[in-house]
Structure formats: C-alpha cells, structure tokens
Amino acid sequence: MRWTRLARLVRARPVVVFLVALAILVPPALAVTQTRVTYDVLSELPASSDSVVGYRKLAGHFDRGQVSPVFVVIQGKDSLWTAQSFRAINDVTIALQKVPGVATVRSLTQPTGGVFSPEDLQAAGVGDLAAFPDRLQEGADGVGKVIGGLGRIKDGLARMRDKLPALEKGLNEAAAGIAKMRDGIRQMREGVTTMRGGLTEAADGLSKPGADNDLADQADAAATSLKGALRTSKLDPKVKEAYARLTGRLFDDSPAKNDPAVKQYADAGGLPGLLRTISSGLHRAIDGLGKLDDGLEQIDGGLAKLGPGLQDGSEGVASTVTGVVRMIDGLDQIVPGLQRLRTGLAEGAARVRSAGIGDIVSAGNLGLTPNLVDSIPGLRDKLSFFISKDERTTRLFVTLAQEPYSATSLDAVTLMRQQAGFAMNKTPLAGAPVLATGSAAFFDDIRTLSTNDFKTIIIAVLIGIFIVLALLLRSIIAPTYLIFTVLLSLLATLGLTTLVFQIIGGQPGVAWWLPPFLFVMLVALGADYNIFLMSRIREEARVHTTADATARGLALTGHVITSAGLILAGTFGALLFAPLRSLQQYGFAVTVGILLDTFVVRSLLVPSIAVMLGRHNWWPSRRARAA
C-alpha cells in the first residue's frame, strides 16, 4: 500500500517530487568539489602496526622525505665519465633542486646534496673559489721559492763536498801523528824505567844499615890523619873546614869554634849528613819518576783511544762526502720536477681564469668534474653509489620536503621528470630517458594512470549502458536521463563520503581507488534497478499512458527493488568494521549509494522525470507518437 501511495503522489505531483529528489542529491553532490584523493596507504593501517610504528620513529628523527626518497635514473648511450656529461648531470641536479617540494638532491657531481655557493664554501673553511686561480698562481710562486731554496742548499752541499776531503786528509795525518807520539812516549817510559832502576840502586846503597857508621869511622880516621899531618896547621881555617866536612865536629880547643863557615859544616852533620840528604832526595826522585811514568801511561792510553777515533772520523767524513754527493744528485732530480710543477700551476691558473671559474662559483652551481674526482684518491670508488659499473647509467638521490604520499610530493615527481628533460637539452645527454622510481614516483604513476583510465572507463561504461538501455527501451531520451540520474547519485554518494571522512573525520582524503570502483559499482547497480523499473513501465505503457504506466511500474517493482537494495546495502555495510580505512570508506560509499539509488533515484527522481516527459520518454520509437 505504501508503494501505491508513493506512486499516486509521483503521478499527481511529479514536479514537486523531482525538486525534492534534487534537494536530497544536489547538496551532497556539491561537496565533491572538496574531495581530495590520497595515496597514503600507510595511514590506512592500524597505528599499532610494526610498519607504522617504525615509520613514525624514523619520521621523528629524520625528514619524512628521507624515509622514502625518489631516485631519478638517467641512462646515456656512452660513458658518462666525461666533462660534458658531468656538466649535464650537474645542470639536472640544479634543475631538480628548484622544483617545489624537493628538499635536497644528491648526485654524481654533488654527492653531499646542495650546490656549492661561495658562502657555503667559506663556512666550510674552503674559502672563496673565485680566488682559486690566484691560489694556483701563489702555489706556482711558492714552488719557485722552494726551487731557489733548494738551489742554495745544493751550493752549500757542494762546498761541503769540496771541503770534506781536506778534513779527511787532516784526520788521517792526525792519526799518524798520534801513532808517532805513542812511540815517543813508549821510549820516554823506557828511559824513566832505567832512571828509576839506577836511582833505586843508589838510594838502596846509601840506605844500607851501618853505612853512616862506616862513613863516620872513615871520617874520624881521615881526621886523625889530618890532625897528625897538620898539627902545625890545625888552626888553619881551611883545615878546620875540611875536618868539619868529614866529621861534622869542630875542634874543641879551636879559637875559631864559632866561625860561621866552620859552624855551618858542623851543623849540617858533615859528610854523613850530606849523604843522608842525598839518599832522601833520591827516594823523592824515584817517586817522581814513578808518577811521571803513570802520567805517560795515561797519556798513552788517551792517545790509544784518540787514534782510532780520528781514524773513524776520517771514515765518517768519507761517508759524509758520499752522502753529500747523493743528496746533490737527488736535488738534481727533484728540481726539474718542481720546475715542471711550477709551470703546470701557472698554466692551470691561466686556464682557470680563461674558463671563468669566478662566474661559475658566483652562480652557485659548481659541481665535481672527472679530473677533480680522479685527483682525489678513493673518491671515484665512493661515487659508485651514483654511477653504474659500465659508467652509462647514473642516479640522483632526491629527498622530498614532505611525505612521499602527499599531493605536493607527487606533483614534484611530475615536475622532476619534465625539468630533468629540459636541463639535458643541447647536452650530450639530450634525449636520454629520464626515469623516476620510489614510493612517490610509484603513486604518481598510479595517479596518472588512474586519472587517464578513469576518464576512459567513464566514457566506455556510459556508452555501453546507453546502448543497452537504448536497445532495451527503444528510446534515446530515457537512457539519457537515466544515465544522468546515475551520475547524480554517484556524485552525491562521493560528496557524502567526503563530508563524513574528510571534512568531519579529518582524514587526508578518500582512497585513490575509491572513485573508479565506486563508479563501476553504482553505475552497474543503478542501471540494473533502472532497467527493472523502466522495463516494467514500458510494458505497462502498452495499454496505459506513460504517466499511469509509471505509477503502476513503481508500485509493482518497489518492494522487490527495495528488498534487493537493502540486502546489498547491508552486505557492503559490513565493510564499515574493516580495520583498513579505505575499506571503511568503500563500505560506507557503496552502502549510501545503494540506499540513495533505491529510495531517492529509483523511487522519486526517475519516476518523476518519466511522468513529466510523458510519451517523449520513448522517442524516437512509434510509442512516442501515440496519443
């Protein structure tokens, strides 16, 4: 009974029903203008998933673009290890750095990322590269000073070479003199030994026991004889002196007892005292000769050490002469090399000036060159990260400023492909394929393909459904507005999904695959339900007017189509409880779309349009001309 009352209402007031249906569908359809498509598959997973937790940890410590970078691959026909190819790669690097959404670009010519501006080089302690030619010239001047210093060193060594032989000769002569001195000392020691032997014997003879008494007795005998022989002259001073010398005594009765000269001999002890004095002097002389021999022995020992030392010194001087000669020969080899280095630096400074290195640096686009790489040991191996083994393929490591799934990152990938191609124009790499890979590049391709294919799908599906409806209904008008109602239902469904999940729910957008899937699903279901309804109306139109046929068709098919729609909507509604966000969106969209199509489009919009058009529904068939 309810469907009958609804059918009568549509029959009686088709315009009102039409406007009500539009009021229900148009506002949410307008929300489609706010629909954003997201490719962030990571956000669809539960926050507790391992991959999500790991990604958030990395994103908390590094730029999000570094977590999933983009690789731009350039493949040349020949080796890229040339100055022209390096310059082209550097141009591509600079072009990519200017793309919005790109944070850094690392390449074969700029492996650290970012161009080398004068300020960067100054901050890094490298200095102003604009003054690089001056530094080369200063290096050449410095090498010239080194050459001059080495020349002076060579002159000094030459003088040493000339003087050292005389020193060697003097040392040899000194060694020979030392040998002669040692011979002289040996002879002196032999004479000292002989002298000591004679003096020792004399001293020993004087020192024998009783020697003094014998001398005294002999002196007394001589004195007695002297007294007897010279009695008449005992007062003679000379006799007294001789007597005193022999005995050491004076005549007691001599009036000249106190004569100083006579007394001096007596006080000295006479001849015995003199002999004792001589014996004592001999012993001291023997001791002195012993010390002299010891001194000569020490001198001989010192000369024994000095002689070999002088000989060694002579040999050392000879070795020094040999070393000096070798040093002079080495300098003769070094100086020509330094002269070539000086010439090379001067020529390099001139060439760098002519190349305009200052303009390159001031433009901030200085990159590595093959010569610079080859001049630094080990650098070429480290750059293998950017170039293949055959040196024909290179890759650029691009870090994005935002997450790789964002629209800005996808747009950046599209621009990177274009800008890389433009930068290689008029270079050896012109026309070389530019390929981009990575998460952002992957979803950029999906976006491009899905956008282009979606248009193709829409056109193909609509044409196919229009042909089927036209053949089934024998009309062009009815299929046209039926397709319009399906599209309006699709837009309203997509708008409600955007409103619920994106605007109210705060999600970044709807899943990228939702619009095409939703279109296929709703167009197919809408076409099915419209076929059920319009086929019934066409059958009823054989015996009734189009308005009455529409009312009868709506009343007769309402409960069947509604039941099918409710069952199908309930089935897809189960996806609202899926763990993935995209499945929730899809379940909501299909459920709402089926309900809108069941209760608004098929129940209100399509019947009201059919009633308003009347017999024109069936144009150009004969039924459109019937009364």
Residue 352 reports pLDDT greater than 60: no
C-alpha span between 212 and 276 (Å, rounded): 8
Average pLDDT of the chain?
75
Rounded mean pLDDT, 218-233 = 54
Considering 127-141, 158-172, 548-562, the range whose residues carry the highest mean pLDDT is 548-562
pLDDT at 592: 92
Q: pLDDT (tens digit, 9 = 90+) per residue, 184-223?
A: 767 777 776 777 676 676 666 655 555 555 555 555 555 5
pLDDT at 522: 87
C-alpha span between 270 and 268 (Å, rounded): 6
φ/ψ of 48, rounded to 5, equals -85, 0
SS3 256: coil
Q: Following DSSP, what letter does each residue of 546-609 receive, concatenated?
A: HHHHHHHHHHHHHHHHHHHHHHHHHHHHGGGG-SSHHHHHHHHHHHHHHHHIIIIIIIIIHHHH
Rounded mean pLDDT, 612-616 = 85
Q: pLDDT (tens digit, 9 = 90+) per residue, 433-472?
A: 888 888 888 888 888 887 888 888 888 888 988 898 888 8
Q: What's this model's pTM, rounded to 2 decimal places? A: 0.57
List all residues 6 or more positions away from 431 whose beta carbon is below 8 Å from its beta carbon. Answer: 424
pLDDT at 360: 41
Angle between helices 439-473 and 477-497 (to 10 degrees): 150
Domains and CATH numbers, the chain: 2-48+445-625 (1.20.1640.10), 77-115+367-431 (no CATH), 131-363 (1.10.287)
Residue matched to tokens 């200085």: 366
Nearest to 365 by CA among 110, 111, 122: 110
Output DSSP code: residue 504: I
C-alpha span between 482 and 537 (Å, rounded): 13
Nearest to 432 by CA among 417, 442, 443, 413: 417
618-624: long-range contacts, CB 8 A cutoff, minimum separation 24: 618/473, 618/474, 618/475, 618/477, 618/478, 618/538, 618/541, 618/546, 619/475, 619/476, 619/477, 620/475, 620/476, 621/474, 621/475, 623/474, 623/541, 624/475, 624/477
Residue 297 reports pLDDT greater than 60: yes
Look up residue 271 and give its two tokens: 């001849």
Are the C-beta atoms of residues 492 and 25 closer than 8 Å to each other? yes
Look up residue 233 and give its two tokens: 């002259």
Alpha helices in 127-269 (DSSP H): 132-206, 211-229, 237-247, 260-267
Q: pLDDT (tens digit, 9 = 90+) per residue, 212-221?
A: 555 555 555 5
More confident residue, 548 or 270: 548
Rounded mean pLDDT, 475-492 = 90
List residues bridging with 366 in a β-sheet: 116
Nearest to 515 by CA among 36, 43, 41, 44: 36
More confident residue, 561 or 162: 561
List residues bridging with 40 in a β-sheet: none
pLDDT at 259: 58
Residue 116 reports pLDDT greater than 80: no
pLDDT band (50, 70, 90) for residue 303: low
Element (H, E) at 303: helix 270-355
Element (H, E) at 37: strand 37-38
Residue 257 reports pLDDT greater than 60: no
Give how far Cα 23 sits from Cα of 18, 259, 493, 592, 616, Å. 9, 179, 14, 16, 25
Residue 390 reports pLDDT greater than 60: yes
